[in-house]
Amino acid sequence: MVQSVKTIYPENRIPSARKKRRISSKLSPWLFLTPAIAIFSLYVIFPIVDSIWLSFFEWDGLGEKEWVGLENYRELFDSDAFYTSLTNNFLWLIFFMLAPPCGLAIALFLNQQVKGIRVVKSLFFFPFVISQVVVGLVFAWFYDPSFGLFNIVLGSLGFEPISILANEDYVTYGIIVAGLWPQISYCMILYLTGLNNLDPEQLEAARLDGAKKWRMLWYVVLPQLRPATFIAVVVTVIGALRSFDLVATMTAGGPWGSSTVLAYQMYEESIFNYRMGYGAAVSVVLFLIMDIYIAYFLWRMLRSEK
């Protein structure tokens, strides 16, 4: 019997080969992931850590760095400009949450087999493919009190022209509307993709059970769209908190700093005021707000799935 085992497994070669294959199967994913991990660490993790470290210094970007500890943060939290930026960012966050439901409504409208629907879809896709700078310029013309379409419509209704981008009370809301235009298109694309991947067996079973319209949407369609909803909300939150392009293009933070946001304040302090450490402190605060909100949303999503 011993001789037969030795004949089958001479010098334990086969078990050794199995062991090597097991080790290789464990190492292979890490070997493939190594380039991605290296690039992610170099271009994401290192800049984050470096920004946090830089926020404890006073630095003009050229000379020697001077350690100031928490002084940048003390100055930041005593600054009225910071609270204006923070308030505007929360306004962006609140109103940007309209993008996922609006995108879902448009996706449900476009998800039908009707003649000419492809042309309509392309019109709704258009805002997503153009640059944010172009969006800003288009809406700046749209709001222009002299020849803008917005004030032409107001005039036809008997109202006086309103200079949206020069009014401290309206300017932030005007820029948010401009930002919602492409954001709704992005959410619409996500939901259209999700609607095209719905399980037809679940839909047919729901129809046989008598589910129609709102019940079908709430109990059958929306649960299957949960991954698309998750991506839409996370991307929308990130887009609201890092809003920069439209503010820089349309108002440059004006009038009198009333439309500035944290991302633009960080840019202004670092580039124009030569205060890299102070700008880094603004970026750290923005990063923490973003992380806390997304972590909370992830926790809610995982809890609901359990």
Instruction: Assign 143 a pLDDT band (cuts: 50, 70, 90).
Output: very high
Rounded distance between C-alpha atoms, residue 24 and residue 29, angstroms: 9
Mean pLDDT of 61-78: 92
Q: What pLDDT does residue 306 have?
A: 66
Domain boundaries, the chain: 83-263
Select the CATH number that applies to the domain covering 83-263 from these four: 3.40.50.970, 3.30.470.20, 3.40.50.300, 1.10.3720.10: 1.10.3720.10
Q: What pLDDT does residue 10 have?
A: 52
Q: What pLDDT does residue 1 have?
A: 47
Mean pLDDT of 160-175: 92
pLDDT value at 209 more than 70: yes
Which two tokens mark 17? 């080969």
Share the mean pLDDT of the chain: 87
Q: What residues have CB less than 8 Å from 241, skipping those under 6 apart?
A: 89, 92, 93, 262, 263, 286, 289, 290, 293
Q: What pLDDT does residue 2 have?
A: 46
Q: What pLDDT does residue 304 have?
A: 72
Q: What pLDDT does residue 24 have?
A: 72
Q: What pLDDT does residue 258 have?
A: 92
Mean pLDDT of 282-288: 93
Q: What pLDDT does residue 251 have?
A: 93
Tokens 């996922």, located at residue: 100
